[in-house]
Amino acid sequence: MARKVLTLAEVRDGSLRNVSFEAIAAAKTIAEGGEVVSVLVGDQVQAHANELIYRGADRVVVIEHPNLKFYTSDGYSQALKAVIDKEQPEGIVFGHTALGKDLSPKLAIKLDAGLISDVIAVEEAGGNIVFTRPIYSGKAFEKKIVTDGIIFATVRPNNIAPLERDESRSGSVEALAVEIKDLRAIVKEVVRKTAEGVDLTEAKVIVAGGRGVKSAEGFKPLKELAEVLGGAVGASRGACDAGYCDYSLQIGQTGKVVTPDLYIACGISGAIQHLAGMSNSKVIVAINKDPEANIFKVADYGIVGDLFEVVPLLTEEFKKLKVHS
């Protein structure tokens, strides 16, 4: 059954987030041969429209308005509702990002619809579109289907492979004028706390520190390693509670759930709280002084040793690799 499916593209720091392309890939599966329409919302975002076509969208609808410069649920829901009313899609896919998490339930109510959040896989099976999502902090999974109304889902970044970029693809880009008004919550200021760009939930490589890092200063070698690998720095609850780093870096049952290609745990004991947030990473490396540390039970590769000795050596070794390749 061919369906028309809408996706929401997200722009951050002037570029499209990868999850925008992953949403298009998920939408293709849901569409079963139908049309995929990507929606670009913001203030001066039209320039990104073609990239969405290259990544698999059949059409792009652009809604620009000064009141959409910052995300607000009121502003964005007015924009999205206008496109939905016009396009009458049978499916919608957002990223399961701060924005997608905040916006999707509100729209689901407006559409009197269900919503399957935080999806890591989507497939057609037995006449249904079946969504797989983690439950119980990633310690189990469930498969869900929509039984009534529009098929609405949010996809977790870094899990659904985007389609191959194809510059020969073409498709129409349309602007839709929507009056955005009566915002009941206003963003006064955005305070950047995350360093240099790479978002934890989207990072391909994460270097995480635990209590073994011993101080805020102790994160420095981890940052250097992450930088060489183009990755992000994360932390265990222990390191956050001890005040070595900001809670925004916390990975675990409380904190962020991440699934990078490579997770390097440094001085992390591997409490269940932490494992819940990272154990679905593709490859896990553990560096810990204690050979009995729990983290070694989930690690693919382990080095028993002092992280302050191992991590700088590792950074050097990767630097060499970069020079050679």
Partner 1 sequence: MMFECWQLKQLFEEGNDVNIFVLMKRTFDTEEKISIVNGKINEEGAEFIINPYDEYAIEEAIQVRDKHGGEVTVVTVGSEEAEKELRTALAMGCDKAVLINIDDDVEEQDQYTTAKVLAEYLKDKNPDLILAGNVAIDGGSGQVGPRVAELLGIPYVTTITKLDIADGGKVTVVRDVEGDEEIIETSLPLLVTAQQGLNEPRYPSLPGIMKAKKKPLDELELDDLDLDEEDVEAKTKTIEVFLPPKREAGKILQGEIADQVKELVQLLRSEAKVV
Q: Does 197 bind partner 1 (CB under 8 A)?
A: no
The tokens describing 160, both together, are: 């659904």
Element (H, E) at 118: strand 116-119
Q: How far is the CB of 36 from partner 1 (least distance, A)?
A: 22
User: Cα separations (Å) of 310 from 106, 285, 299, 315?
Assistant: 48, 12, 16, 9
Q: Is 15 in the site for partner 1 (CB under 8 A)?
A: no
Per CB under 8 A, the list member of 137, 169, 227, 308 interacting with partner 1 is 137
Among 1, 2, 175, 313, binds partner 1 (CB under 8 A): 313
One of 1, 69, 85, 136 touching partner 1 (CB under 8 A):
136
Q: Tell me: does residue 14 bind partner 1 (CB under 8 A).
A: no
Residues 39-98 contacting partner 1, CB under 8 A: 70, 73-74, 97-98
Residues whose CB falls within 8 Å of the CB of residue 249, separated by 6 or more in sequence, listed in order: 200, 233, 234, 235, 239, 240
Q: Would the annotation count 78 as a binding residue? A: no
Cβ of residue 89: shortest distance to partner 1, in angstroms? 16
Query: In the numeric block, which tokens belong to residue 302?
Result: 């382990």
Nearest to 212 by CA among 274, 167, 162, 152: 274
Q: Quick check: 109 binds partner 1 (CB under 8 A)?
A: yes
Tell me how far apart the alpha carbons of residues 179 and 157 are, in angstroms, rounded to a whole number: 30
> Is 273 flagged in the annotation as binding?
yes
- The answer to whether 139 contacts partner 1 (rule: CB under 8 A) is yes
Q: Which is nearer to partner 1, 19 or 40 (CB)?
A: 19
Q: How far is the CB of 96 from partner 1 (least distance, A)?
A: 9
Binding residues among 260-279 for partner 1 as defined by CB under 8 A: 261-262, 272-273, 276, 279
Residue 159 binds partner 1 (CB under 8 A): no
User: How far out from the chain centre does Cα 272 lie?
Assistant: 23
Rule CB under 8 A: say whether 323 interacts with partner 1.
Answer: no
Cα 315 to Cα 79: distance, rounded to the nearest angstrom: 46
Give me the phi and psi of 140, to 5 degrees please. Answer: -150, 170
Q: Looking at beta carbons only, is 171 or 236 nearer to partner 1?
A: 236
Does 174 contact partner 1 by CB under 8 A?
Answer: no
**Sheet containing 151-155: which strands, arranged edge to edge?**
116-119, 151-155, 91-95, 5-9, 36-42, 59-64, 172-175
Binding site feature residues for FAD: 211, 236-237, 250-254, 267-274, 288
